[in-house]
Structure 1
Amino acid sequence: MIGRCIGETSLTQVSFISKKMPQVGEYVTVEYDGKVILGMIESLVRGSIALNSEIYNPDTIEKIRQIEGDDFYIKGTVRILGDVNDNLKIPRTPAPPGTEINEAPSEILKDIFDVDNSLKLGHLINQSDVEVGIDINRMVSRHLAVLAMTGAGKSNAVSVIIDGLLKHNGCMLIFDMHSEYVDAEFENGKVNVIPPMINPKHMEFSEILKLANIKNAPIQERYFRQAFFEANRSVMEGTAPSEDFIENVAIILEQKHDAAESASEKNKIMDVLNKIEDLNLKYDRLLNTNAGDILKKIQIGKANVLDLGQVDENTAEVLVAHILRRALRSRKNYVKNHDRNALAFPVFFVVEEAHILAPQNRNPSSKTWITRVAREGRKFGLGLCLVSQSPKSVDSETLSQANNMIILRLVEPKDQKHVQTASESLSEDLVAQLPSLNIGEALVLGLMTKIPTLVKIDEFTGRMRGGDLDILDQWAIRHDMKEKDTEISLQNIEDLLG
């Protein structure tokens, strides 16, 4: 027995008093009215009646301690999780005051966390013999957010999830902003690196317009639109003069420029031509008419990685928006129309640096399509994993669509508040535990797990980039190289002088 219920109890929470120190996050059972109710300790305080806050002399405190000894009490709150024998339904009646609070047996917890076709995430922080599995179907279809401050174990958690999905022949596409997964090694599958290239024939006008940097210029936009759709038509009809789509747009604009009668019209068309030339120079590696369909490069049973480490944020936003837009449309065609040329299997999109691709205070095209997939993807087998070390900077609407969360250590109050606002099941007491989590420890909650839980996430045993550089090692290597170069130069000079 840990303690007994005191004061007023409710259907969702009870207070208890104890002489034994339990741990926050520990599971307990409360038995009454023929029911076994599971609960989780959410808060604890230790106090003393004799040593109260009205004593202001340290000497008096010491004298009382000598007389009373270690006479203290422990007071805590238990969050009611549900009836163990009734599918974890919340009971209809509260526990009577004085009811025993007992440690939850491992057998009960093992049964709760034993999920069919689950992904093993780790084990309970307080009971290492109880493994924690999460429901893959509910994780993918109901979306996931992995949130933590830098260095708390976020990349390790994501890698464990990816490796676990590969064990089930899963398909994920990682938007890899820092090339962390390009040369990763997973135990259960291989990495398929997809170069950041788009066939412009598969792009929408709005995507090309953004790359061309035509803003608040309706006349330039009109000329560009006309040339874009004429080039599209010539490609479809097989009459295009060039294999390069952007070059076809430029050829059409040059023809319009030559045919223009007024100098003003010629100047406006020339402005568009200049922007297309800039587009070609800046995005020469991104736009490739030989790139094929980027969706066709996604392979099932592999960790597909879109390497965004060498492109700027604007390009990354366009690429992410392009892929998500086409994936959603393709999956709709497959599910509704049984289109054999469409994307034939579900995909789990891992959005690294979600605060950049779906920011709170900007509206890039990537944010539009991430939010769209978050709202509609479940019906068509598209899931999202939003990963960020700055939760307060992630769009609140998008974050609220993630019905599952893995929250590692979070210290900043604004981050904590933003996450709590996005999750209905995250209480104040649970939020209060986030700064005290150690590296690799996480609060896991949502539809993918039957109950909220504190988990020690398994250590990823494969290989990947990421983490902090060993600065001292880098300096030492560079210093040794410089000294070696100096020695070689001096030796060359001595050889020349004979």
Structure 2
Amino acid sequence: MGISEPTYIGQVGSVSGSVVRVRLRDDLRSTLVMIAGESYRIGQIGGFLRVPLGYTHLYAVCTQIGADAAPGGVPEPPLNTPLDLDGASQLSGFRWMTIVLFGEAMGKRFERGVGQYPTVGDEVHLVTKDDLEVIYGWSQGKKGTISVGQIAGASGISADVSIPGLVSRHSAIVGSTGSGKSNLVAVLLEAASSGSFPNARIVVIDPHGEYASALGDRAYVFRVRPDTAASEKHLYVPYWALPFSELIELTLGGVQPNHEAAIRDLVLDMKVASAKLLPNPPPPETLTADSPVPFSIRQLWFDLDRFERLTFKTNSQLPADAYEPDDAGNAQLLQSAKFPAASAYNTAPYKNGKKRNLERQLDFMRIRLRDGRFSFLFEPGDYAVATTGEVNKDLDSLVREWIGHERPVSVFDVSELPSEVLPTIVGTMLRVVYDLLFWAQDLAMGGRQQPLLIVIDEAHRFVPEGSGSAAHRTLSTIAKEGRKYGTGLMLVTQRPSEVDSAVLSQCGSLIALRLTNASDRSKVGAAVPDDLGGLVDQLSSLRTGEGIFVGEVMPIPSRVRVRKAMHKPMGDDPKLPEAWQVVPRPEGKLYTKALSMWRRQTTSTEDEATKAEGDSDA
């Protein structure tokens, strides 16, 4: 071992923590080196280097090459110095490299982190295939790893991802449109649900409805209008699981603070009364208007509406002086009670002097309760509440349907949900699951005993910088506290610059695919751990399907070529140019069918009614 070895490329010039400046040897005539019949390129960004220290070998990754990598005390070469490879002395000012230490090995045993540091003059060598086998041997024969592809530039070496690092430490997958994010997520889900982890629990929030096709019978898909397939189920989110403020904003559109306080008290009274009907009623003193306890929202509307319409026989307006309604109305059918009309003069019937003037908000509430787009929320199947407060199924059944089944993945296709309430609904769904697993942490189905991974696609829609939505609050809590209670988070986004910095900073692993936007690269560079920010400069030149893996998910910072998923997500690009060259032009009658599907708010071609309409127009 020494400077006579063909792998030797230079010496340590300075050391600052894990950042090492390397002065390359002056007699290098080419950056291409042949070693044992294999070619190696010196100075590749992201390439690995080895620093031998006795029986220990330190390993580092190249983050910078050239004159800019020189230590501050080394004079820069003149601007007019020619880069003449035949004059080695003229290149002396350019022959510098910055490397970042990431691990060490003794014998065949590799460990992340370094126990000792190099000093000035220590040798620096290229990493060969044998060294790579030592570096990536950490996962061989080790339980809890999955393969997602191969290490780029090192043929035959599998890129293995640590499941504990993926689930327990949170992660983020970032990349521009078309860089391969959906394929990578599909590969990760395929590998995690392949059978090696029969008790895996993964929840996928899918805003575009693209992952159902990639997972097949490995997942149950929950959507508002499911197909007849056995793997699809109705998505119900009971309104009574929403926090009070979100429910009022969603149904009444906002009210004055004093009126909101009165409505809060009314909701609390209704929840206290309904809680007594539950099989295991909670103590009344533990309940608030935010407690996930069933109550009838139709009865709430009816009571608020009745109060606005109430008239009195005398101006004292005592309860006993109220008129009996001419029409009692119907809470379940959202029909108002009718009272004698109030006089315009100071005579009976007298209008209610304490009315809250909520007519406009109550009209909006009635329209929303009847809106078919919100039936998953206000008419949630067996989770609907009678006007008397009874409910057929409680939240335990709901969460059991969501994550307590035999399949490892639950895909929540939220593409059909109204966009204006999407963050509220997703936040409520995740809060219900997280809170139930949190309080069940000592039970066999709790998060600590059987961890849960939550995958959030289009994360910038749910945790944007400066937002205060239900999704933002829930995901912030999971990011900060979920690791301790067995709930992991994976953020997937094409706009990391729009994701909340506090949430992104909690991700112990980062998988960065091609990023072309400068602000996105800057945000990623600030989040990259281990002084590896220099690798971010590669992001704009990565090939489709390539990514830089850093952090707990893969102990060695690596450039990975991700394999193709067995079944493509629907979000893949259309097949061009075949779609314009070979596929025949669609028949005109399909536009009628498309219009019917649009009005029915379904993308399913198996809808019999849609079929009939399309056939009748043929």
TM-score normalized with structure 1 length: 0.84
Change (3 A) 1:306 1:426: farther
Local SS of the residue matching 2:253: coil
Q: For residue 11 of structure 2, what is the aligned residue in structure 1?
A: 5
Contact 1:245 1:289 (8 Å CA) reproduced: no
TM-superposed deviation, 1:189: 2.2
Deviates more, 1:374-383 or 1:339-348: 339-348
Matches within 5 A, 1:415-434: 415-425=520-530, 427-434=532-539
SS at match of 1:405: strand
- 1:145-156 equivalences under 5 Å are 145-156=172-183
CA contact (8 A) 1:121 1:133 kept: yes
Could you say which residue in structure 2 is the equivalent of 1:275? Answer: 364
Are 1:189 and 2:218 matched, yes or no?
yes
Conserved in 2, the CA contact under 8 Å of 1:15 and 1:78?
yes
CA offset at residue 267 of structure 1? 5.4
Q: Equivalent residue for 1:122?
A: 149
Q: 1:347 to 1:287 in 2, by over 3 A?
A: farther
Question: Contact 1:244–1:289 (CA<8 Å) still a contact in 2?
Answer: no
Distance 1:36 1:331 in 2: 44
Whether the 8 Å CA contact 2:12–2:119 is kept in 1: the answer is no
Contact persistence 2:514–2:546 (CA under 8 A):
yes
Q: Which residue of 1 aligns with 2:495?
A: 390
Tell me which residue corresponds to 2:114.
90
Give the secondary structure class of the aligned counterpart of 1:379.
Answer: helix
For the structure 1 residues 42 and 366, does the alpha-carbon distance in structure 2 shift closer, same or farther, using more than 3 Å as the test?
Answer: same
Show the counterpart of 1:290.
381
Whether the aligned pair in 1 keeps the contact of 2:271 and 2:295 (CA below 8 Å) is: no
SS in 2 for 1:372: helix
User: What's the CA shift for 1:278?
Assistant: 3.0
Q: Quick check: 1:324 aligned with 2:430?
A: yes
| 1:39 matches 2:60 | yes
**Cα distance in structure 2, aligned partners of 1:420 and 1:2:** 31
The question of whether the paired residues in 1 share the 8 Å contact of 2:310 and 2:352 is answered with no
Distance 2:16 2:450 in 1: 46
Alignment CA distance shift 1:460-1:225 (3 Å)? same
**Could you list the per-position Cα deviations for residues 282-310 of structure 1 after superposition, in whole angstroms to 9, with x for gaps in the alignment?**
42343224254432222353321111111
Q: Is 2:116 the partner of 1:99?
A: no
Q: Which SS does the other structure have where 2:381 is aligned?
A: coil
- Hey, what's the Cα distance between the residues in 2 that align with 1:10 and 1:153? 36
- Provide the rounded CA distance (Å) in 1 between the counterparts of 2:354 and 2:178: 56
State the partner residue of 2:261: 222
Contact 1:11 1:94 in 2 (8 A): no
Q: Distance in 2 between matches of 1:465 and 1:200?
A: 30
Which region of structure 1 is more displaced relative to structure 2, 463-472 or 131-140?
463-472
Matches of 1:14 and 1:5, distance apart in 2:
9
- What's the counterpart of residue 203 of structure 2? 173
- Structure with more of its chain in helix, by fraction: 1
Give, in angstroms, the shift of residue 442 of structure 1. Answer: 0.7
Unaligned runs of 5+ in 1: 56-60, 486-498
The one-letter code sitting in structure 1 at the alignment partner of 2:149 is G
Structure 1 distance, partners of 2:254, 2:64, is: 54
Q: AA paired with 1:181?
A: Y
**CA distances 1:26-48 after superposition (whole Å, capped 9, x unpaired):** 2221112432111112223499x
- Quote the residue 1:17 is aligned against: 24
- Structure 2 distance, partners of 1:235, 1:342, is 29
Structure 1 residues 263 and 474 mapped into 2: Cα distance closer, same or farther (>3 Å)?
A: farther
Distance in structure 1 (CA, Å) of the matches to 2:295 and 2:55: 75
SS in structure 2 of the partner of residue 366 of structure 1: helix
On the 8 A contact 2:22/2:98 being kept in 1, the answer is: yes
Residue of structure 2 equivalent to 1:108: 134
With over 3 angstroms needed to count, the CA separation of the structure-2 counterparts of 1:344 and 1:268, relative to structure 1, is farther
Label 1:340 to 1:141 Cα distance change in 2 as closer, same or farther (>3 A): closer
The answer to whether the Cα contact below 8 Å between 1:350 and 1:384 also exists between their aligned partners in 2 is yes
Partner of 2:97: 76
- Deviation track 1:244-281 (CA, whole Å, cap 9, x = no partner) reads 82212122223433446545643524344223213313
Amino acid at match of 1:296: R
Q: Return the alpha-carbon distance in structure 1 between the equivalents of residues 186 and 296 of structure 2.
A: 38
Is the partner of 1:81 in helix, strand or coil? strand
Q: How far, CA to CA, are the matches of 2:419 and 2:448 in structure 1?
A: 27
Residues 10 and 124, structure 2, Cα contact 8 Å, conserved in 1: yes
Q: Distance in 1 between matches of 2:103 and 2:13?
A: 20
Shifted more, 405-414 versus 465-474: the winner is 465-474
The match for 2:73 is none
SS in 1 for 2:63: strand
**Shift of residue 222, structure 1, vs aligned partner:** 3.1
Q: Distance in 2 between matches of 1:343 and 1:38?
A: 35
TM-score, scaled relative to structure 2: 0.69
Partner of 1:435: 540
Separation (CA, whole Å) in 1 of partners of 2:590 and 2:153: 53
User: Aligned letter for 1:448?
Assistant: V
1:134 and 2:124 correspond: no
Residue number in structure 1 paired with 2:251 = 212
**Change over 3 Å in CA distance of 1:393–1:340 after alignment to 2:** closer
Q: Distance in 1 between matches of 2:590 and 2:461?
A: 42
Q: 1:128 to 1:264 in 2, by over 3 A?
A: farther
Q: What SS does the corresponding residue of 1:409 show, helix, strand or coil?
A: coil
How many pairs were matched up? 470
Aligned mates of 1:478, 1:468 — CA distance in 2? 19
1:157 corresponding residue in structure 2: 184
CA distance in 1, matches of 2:512, 2:99: 21
Q: Is the Cα–Cα contact under 8 Å of residues 358 and 395 in structure 1 kept in the other structure?
A: yes
Deviates more, 1:414-423 or 1:357-366: 414-423
Query: Percentage identity across aligned positions?
Result: 20
Question: Distance between the aligned counterparts of 1:202 and 1:7, measured in 2?
Answer: 62
Contact 1:9 1:15 in 2 (8 A): no
List per-residue Cα deviations over 1:130-160 (Å, max 9, x = no partner).
Answer: 1121211121011110001111111111111
1:103 and 1:268 map into 2 onto residues whose CA distance is 76
Q: CA deviation at 1:384?
A: 0.8
Q: Secondary structure at the match of 2:587?
A: helix
Using the TM superposition, name which of 427-436 and 221-230 deviates more: 221-230
Amino acid at match of 1:225: R
Asked if 2 retains the 8 angstrom alpha-carbon contact of 1:231 and 1:252, the reply is: no
- Contact preservation (8 Å) 1:113, 1:132: no
Structure ID, larger Rg = 2
CA-to-aligned-CA distance 1:300-349 (integer Å, 9 cap, x gap): 5332111111122332212211122112221122114x398999843211
Give the structure 2 partner of residue 492 of structure 1: none
CA gap of 1:457–1:484, structure 2 versus 1, over 3 A, is: closer
Instruction: After TM superposition, give the deviation of residue 409 of structure 1 in Å.
Output: 1.0
Question: Does the alignment pair 1:248 with 2:286?
Answer: no
Tell me: CA distance 1:208–1:280, structure 2 relative to 1, closer, same or farther (3 Å).
same
SS at match of 1:212: helix
Q: Name whichever of 267-276 and 174-183 sits farther off.
A: 267-276
In 2, distance between residues paired with 1:483 and 1:198?
36
Deviates more, 1:307-316 or 1:470-479: 470-479
- Tell me by how many angstroms 1:7 deviates: 2.5
Q: Which residue of 2 aligns with 1:488?
A: none
**What is the CA RMSD across the aligned residues, in angstroms?**
3.4
Using the TM superposition, give the Cα deviation of residue 120 of structure 1 relative to its aligned residue in structure 2, in angstroms: 1.2
Q: Secondary structure at the match of 1:411?
A: coil
Q: Which amino acid in 2 is paired with 1:217?
A: Q
